[in-house]
Structure 1
Amino acid sequence: MAFQCQRDCYMKVFVTSVVSCCPAELKQEVNGKKETLKGFNVILQDTVLFPEGGGQPDDRGLIGEAPVLKVTRQGPDAVHFVTSPVEVGQEVRVKVDWERRFDHMQQHSGQHLITALADSMFGYKTTSWDLGCHRSTIELDTPTVKAAQLQELEEAVNEKIRAHIPVNVQLLSLNDPAVEKVRSRGLPEDHAGPIRVVDIEGIDANMCCGTHVKNLSHLQVIKLLGTEKGKKNKTNLIFLAGNRVLKYAEKSYSTERSLVSLLKTGPDEHVQAVDKLQKSFKLLQKTNLSLLRDMAVFIAQNFMNNPERGNFFSLHKKEGDNEFMNIIANEINTEENLVFLTVGEEKGPGLFLLAGPSGQVTELGPQILELLQGKGAGKNGRFQGKANSLAKREEVEALLRQHCKHHSS
């Protein structure tokens, strides 16, 4: 059985009746967190909302006023998940999210065209594909695709788009001899009814349940962005079709204008300008590290040369690092002095180092960890680690001063 969305991929609104509505749950990920939504699974007499399949994601839309959050196929039925119930037997107006649907049609038909031509031109078979949110990927059964082949393939697919070639859908019975000539990666186990074949006239005939454009001209344009190394000696070909190319161009132009403003150069000089900035930044980093090391030595020597220094030294420096703290600790006689150093944001996260007589450091380390909400470890008179918050740094200082006062009395 073919759904209305497969019989007429361009239909945006459809009136049908509700067959069943049962309580259900939907597991989904929102902002990286998994959550379970309570709602209802609705089966309709027919539907214009495509259930996921053939590498194509499912549609979104409305049943009446209820948003459809997921559509899946179960045997001959499409199951729609909604958060509010609909009455069994009533007629409902089903509306598809057309922007999402047409985007999927363009990417899916684009994939069929690229797959067919990559095979006929170079003998590269498609082993899988992924219709992503922003770009799509075709996995080709070849270790590499040369740059010249990529350019030739892009020119060929766009030539076919300009040729205004029709895309037809046929329904064939399983025992039809024509089925053997059709490209296929196999039918699902629960397939029922005739076989649906998407035929790009004179180019490709492929078993497919997805929604497609009715003419290659509706693809507008295809851009092959490049290739990436795939798994098991395969190559991933990345592409955009139709409106995605326009959005990509708009976004690229917007980025280009921002870079012109930031770099104060024309687009052709952006790479050179960024390269120059990176080299300057590395040089500044190197100089800064050298100055920090010199400063660490000076700070430590200044403390050691102070006749009224006592036996406790404490310092916080926002721009420091572990090396900065260790240089100071190395320059100070920590067998006799207790040293507490921190780097990072004053009230935020950072790094800490406690150095001094081994017994005192072992005793005080865990207390400091607790106050700084940190993680760390110690041995041989050193205890250091990461602090989630330096907000209680003054409390740590007071604890250490009290400890030193107690030990010196």
Structure 2
Amino acid sequence: MKEFVTSVVSCCPAELKHEVNGKKETLKGFNVTFQDTILFPEGGGQPDDHGFIGDVPVLRVTRQGSDAIHFVSSSVEPGLELLLRVDWDRRFDHMQQHSGQHLITALADSMFGFKTTSWELGRQRSTIELDTPCVKPAQLQALEEAVNEKIRAHVPVHVQLLSVDDPAVEKVRSRGLPEDHAGPIRIIDMEGVDANMCCGTHVSNLSHLQVIKLQGTEKGKKNKTNLIFLCGNRVLKYAEKSFTTERALVSLLKTGPEEHVEAVDKIQKSVKLLQKTNLGLLRDMAVLIAQDFNKSSNRSNFFSFHKKEGDNEFMNIIANEINTEETLVFLTVGEEKGPGLFLLAGPSGPVADLGPRVLEMLEGKGAGKKGRFQGKAQSLSRRGDVEAFLQQHCQSQ
């Protein structure tokens, strides 16, 4: 059902910890219970449904015993009859992934003896935790072929409601009932494939799954393997995303899709060569900069230099080439107004005294010893102020 008219039983003030654009927020609203509902509360590894009470969005549905608790932003009057509507795109996606998980779990067990210990229905991909240290590529391929064969066979999916003491309960696959379970036990029966105790929402026929793609495996915890899969519309969305990426790469690389890997490999090798050449030039430049200062007839007891491109080694080469027992050296690399690296080198006493102040002015983190103080600067925008501060110190000596 996508729509359902029911009456309000209770409405109480409540708060919801909600994630918006990656940031957690606490929303003030109301918890509403109804005489009955078509919105699924989270459970069994499946997220909750979203939807509407009239025109008011339902942001969360949770279970407390036999009750479904609907969190909404505005109150509703107990006793009123209201229309509930399901966010069907979200619901159908969850139906496909959950029924797909049951099918994969059943065949992984019957074909290879791999038991499912848990699963997660993610926003973009779903994961089944299998009680095995590894799944071989040939097993993965055979499993994918088998689950899609069941989809093509349009196997019916039935829902049974059994009492707790029904002997048939003992014959179905289960990971146990929650402690606060109430009412009959719900069995999802994929005809001739699997019968499993489950509270979640499912398709009525395996053909509604469309297709299942096993994306591969990852090492799980405690000798377990995580099997990653996409089901139904998620496969189509993944194909569309991949095709969009492919078209972009064709435009960027000026080659057909079958040549993309080779083209990227060539670019990577070229970049590595250029980086190596660039590093060599930077090292040579560092030596020349220091030599130029050393040869200067009017050099002072303070030397400062900044270069956008560079690294710690670049700065240390300059400092090594200059007699820092007599000269205070202040070097920086990075964006002039942004983050970067700095090095203060010179006589041990002054460097130890001046380093913390330089660190403070650059809003950085760092440390020093034996005449060197270096670290990361949050911003080099005050580099000129640091330079003036150090020059003033040297002139006073």
Match of 1:123 among 96, 106, 113: 113
Aligned twin of 1:361: 351
User: Whole-Å Cα distance in 2 between the matches of residues 353 and 31 of structure 1?
Assistant: 38
Aligned twin of 1:33: 23
Matched, 1:313 2:303: yes
Q: What letter is aligned with 1:18?
A: V
Aligned twin of 1:3: none
Question: What SS does structure 2 have at the residue aligned with 1:20?
Answer: strand
Matched, 1:193 2:183: yes
Aligned twin of 2:385: 395
1:36 Cα offset (Å): 1.4
User: Whole-Å Cα distance in 1 between the matches of residues 193 and 370 of structure 2?
Assistant: 74
1:282 Cα offset (Å): 1.2
Matched, 1:74 2:64: yes
User: Whole-Å Cα distance in 1 between the matches of residues 359 and 226 of structure 2?
Assistant: 48
RMSD after superposition: 0.9
Matched, 1:270 2:260: yes
Matched, 1:300 2:295: no
Aligned twin of 2:34: 44
Give per-residue Cα distances to partners, 1:335-374, cap 9 Å, x unaligned.
1011110000000000011111122112211221121111
Aligned twin of 1:250: 240
Matched, 1:383 2:373: yes
Matched, 1:224 2:217: no
Bigger shift: residues 128-137 or 29-38: 29-38
Question: What SS does structure 2 have at the residue aligned with 1:297?
Answer: helix
1:35 Cα offset (Å): 2.3
User: Whole-Å Cα distance in 1 between the matches of residues 353 and 166 of structure 2?
Assistant: 83
Give per-residue Cα distances to partners, 1:231-287, cap 9 Å, x unaligned.
111111111110000000000000011111111111111111111111111111111
User: Whole-Å Cα distance in 1 between the matches of residues 389 and 59 of structure 2?
Assistant: 57
Paired residues for 1:204-243 under 5 Å: 204-243=194-233
Aligned twin of 1:287: 277
Aligned twin of 2:165: 175
Match of 1:344 among 319, 334, 346: 334
User: Whole-Å Cα distance in 1 between the matches of residues 119 and 70 of structure 2?
Assistant: 25
1:30 Cα offset (Å): 3.1
Give per-residue Cα distances to partners, 1:198-225, cap 9 Å, x unaligned.
0000110000000000001110111111
Q: What letter is aligned with 2:239?
A: A
Aligned twin of 1:24: 14
Q: What letter is aligned with 2:249?
A: L
User: Whole-Å Cα distance in 1 between the matches of residues 182 and 76 of structure 2?
Assistant: 27
1:288 Cα offset (Å): 1.1
Q: What letter is aligned with 1:321?
A: D
Question: What SS does structure 2 have at the residue aligned with 1:272?
Answer: helix
Question: What SS does structure 1 have at the residue aligned with 2:84?
Answer: strand
Q: What letter is aligned with 1:65?
A: D
Aligned twin of 1:8: none
User: Whole-Å Cα distance in 2 between the matches of residues 357 and 154 of structure 1?
Assistant: 69
Match of 2:131 among 130, 141, 144: 141
Dislocated runs of 4+, deviation >4 Å: none
Question: What SS does structure 2 have at the residue aligned with 1:21?
Answer: strand
1:176 Cα offset (Å): 1.1
Query: Percent of aligned pairs with the same residue?
Result: 81
Bigger shift: residues 70-79 or 269-278: 269-278
Match of 1:332 among 299, 306, 322: 322
Question: What SS does structure 1 have at the residue aligned with 2:279?
Answer: helix
Aligned twin of 2:74: 84
Give per-residue Cα distances to partners, 1:169-192, cap 9 Å, x unaligned.
000111111111110000011111
User: Whole-Å Cα distance in 2 between the matches of residues 219 and 32 of structure 1?
Assistant: 30
Aligned twin of 1:7: none
Question: What SS does structure 2 have at the residue aligned with 1:34?
Answer: strand
Paired residues for 1:90-129 under 5 Å: 90-129=80-119
TM-score after normalising by structure 1: 0.96
Unmatched 5+ residue regions in structure 2?
none
User: Whole-Å Cα distance in 2 between the matches of residues 387 and 126 of structure 1?
Assistant: 50
Question: What SS does structure 1 have at the residue aligned with 2:275?
Answer: helix
Bigger shift: residues 142-151 or 13-22: 142-151
User: Whole-Å Cα distance in 1 between the matches of residues 11 and 167 of structure 2?
Assistant: 41
1:31 Cα offset (Å): 3.7
1:142 Cα offset (Å): 1.2
Q: What letter is aligned with 2:159?
A: V
User: Whole-Å Cα distance in 1 between the matches of residues 382 and 323 of structure 2?
Assistant: 26
User: Whole-Å Cα distance in 2 between the matches of residues 151 and 158 of structure 1?
Assistant: 11
User: Whole-Å Cα distance in 1 between the matches of residues 260 and 77 of structure 2?
Assistant: 60
Question: What SS does structure 1 have at the residue aligned with 2:274?
Answer: helix
Bigger shift: residues 367-376 or 72-81: 367-376
User: Whole-Å Cα distance in 1 between the matches of residues 357 and 248 of structure 2?
Assistant: 49
Bigger shift: residues 359-368 or 302-311: 359-368
Question: What SS does structure 2 have at the residue aligned with 1:128?
Answer: strand
1:376 Cα offset (Å): 1.3
Aligned residues: 397
1:28 Cα offset (Å): 2.6
User: Whole-Å Cα distance in 2 between the matches of residues 25 and 253 of structure 1?
Assistant: 42
TM-score after normalising by structure 2: 0.98
